[in-house]
Amino acid sequence: MLIKDRLLTPGPTPIPEEVSSIATQPLIHHRSPEFSTVFMKVVEGLKYIFQTDQDVFVLLSSGTGAMEQALVNILSPGDKIITINAGKFGARWGQIGSSFGVEVKDIVLNWGENYTKEQLADELEENPDTSAVFATLNETSTGTIYDIKGYADIISQTNAVLVVDGISGVGAMPCPMDEWNIDVLIAASQKFFMTPPGLAYISFSPKAWSLVEKSGLPKYYFDAKKAKASMGKKTTPFTPGISLLMQQQKALELIIKKGLNELYTHHRILGDSVRAGVKAAGLEFLSKNPGNILTAVKIPPGIDGNKFVKTMQQKYHVYVSGAQEPHKGKFFRIAHLGYVDGFDILTVLCAMEMAFSDLGYNIKSGTSVAAAQNILKENWQ
């Protein structure tokens, strides 16, 4: 039997054919007017999605590169930071900070647990010398969303800045940088942006840029001042991902044509349908505050979670993500992010039922699919 691979992971996400086909086009030189035209169209599209008037810089790196650039450009040796660590990627903020010798106050939460703006206010009151707070819009390892607007309301009243990992969330849910007073916002190409991995995006508020001007941490490739100087010349300081930028330009055209508000609604409908299907199947969610980027589902007792994910991928060719260490095998993650539609959701739920059945955990056939179908049919656009 011929079976198509279906990608429902939180990154990389599926890519429209119009975007992937751009990779076959001849390369252009990166120090040419033709490249500057592509580059600046990408920058303007990113500013639309970030909802900012500030420059958005493009890095040839994964999202982690943008995380490092954010930290090394606003801090100096001995600075104190607070990191909200509620999963694999929240923990990464503290790990990067420790690598560069800043003082890290790591707020460690159980995976899937919420953290309120009131809790952050109390923490800042106890640590008034905090230079920056590092938070996550959507924790990709758990599917939990966090109150970035609430955090910004608190932090904007202090001398500290708010740095947000929006890598899996920006574009799929509201996160207006300027309106919410976010000081540093980052994203990456392989999530909402429907482009292959390899590009990362970052923007600094005027408040954050004042720290860039006096930052004392070591940096070379990730020096934001170099990026800003090159932006004035409509190019990048180092060799860019030319083909990736050409693909990103096409993907941004599709995104802008559809419109952010409609895409927020699209992701909400997909998220609602997955949650309805999971609930109808009698399965439990990991997150106490799940969002519309991905849904983390607990593995039922007696089932090998690693084998479940392998069955989904190797037998049914439906790629979901397993849990990361230290929770490997305890839950799995269905992404509803980027170039995914309602029929993809029905497919992943159908495969989920069959994979569980293969492993001895029976869900009445069609239960989860029917529940999701009701949501999708009611909201079909």
Expressed in angstroms, the distance from the first to the final Cα of the chain is: 32
Contact 346, 372 (CB under 8 A): yes
Cα distance between residue 293 and residue 143, in whole Å: 7
Tell the burial category of 41 from Cβ atoms under 10 Å away from its Cβ (0-12, 13-18, 19+).
Answer: middle
Closest C-alpha to 161, from 112, 115, 124 = 124
Contact 45, 255 (CB under 8 A): yes
Cα distance between residue 171 and residue 261, in whole Å: 9
Tokens 């070379």, residue located? 220
Instruction: Give the model confidence (pLDDT) of 280-310 as tens digits.
Output: 999 999 999 999 999 999 999 999 999 999 9
Q: Three-class SS of residue 116?
A: coil
> What are residue 2's phi and psi, to 5 degrees?
-80, 130
Q: Three-class SS of residue 254?
A: helix
In the predicted model, what is the mean pLDDT of the chain?
97
Question: What are the helix and strand counts (H, E) for the chain?
Answer: 14, 14
Helices 33-50, 242-258: crossing angle, 10 deg rounding: 40
pLDDT at position 381 is 67
Closest C-alpha to 165, from 236, 225, 96, 216 = 96
With pLDDT > 90 as the criterion, what percentage of the chain qualifies? 98
pLDDT at position 3 is 86
pLDDT at position 1 is 75
**Predicted TM-score (pTM) of this structure:** 0.97
Closest C-alpha to 160, from 171, 168, 151 = 151
Instruction: Give the model confidence (pLDDT) of 138-182 as tens digits.
Output: 999 999 999 999 999 999 999 999 999 999 999 999 999 999 999
Cα distance between residue 251 and residue 9, in whole Å: 19
Confidence of residue 226 (pLDDT cuts 50, 70, 90): very high
Q: What is the CA radius of gyration of the chain?
A: 21
Q: Could you give all domains of the chain from N- to C-terminal order, each with its CATH number?
A: 17-257 (3.40.640.10), 260-379 (3.90.1150.10)
Contacts of 321 (CB under 8 A, 6+ apart): 9, 10, 294, 309, 332, 333, 335
pLDDT at position 344 is 97
Tokens 């090394």, residue located? 72
pLDDT at position 2 is 80
Mean pLDDT of 258-287: 98
Mean pLDDT of 60-67: 98
Closest C-alpha to 85, from 141, 125, 162 = 141
Cα distance between residue 57 and residue 228, in whole Å: 8
Confidence of residue 103 (pLDDT cuts 50, 70, 90): very high
Contact 105, 80 (CB under 8 A): yes
Mean pLDDT of 77-83: 97
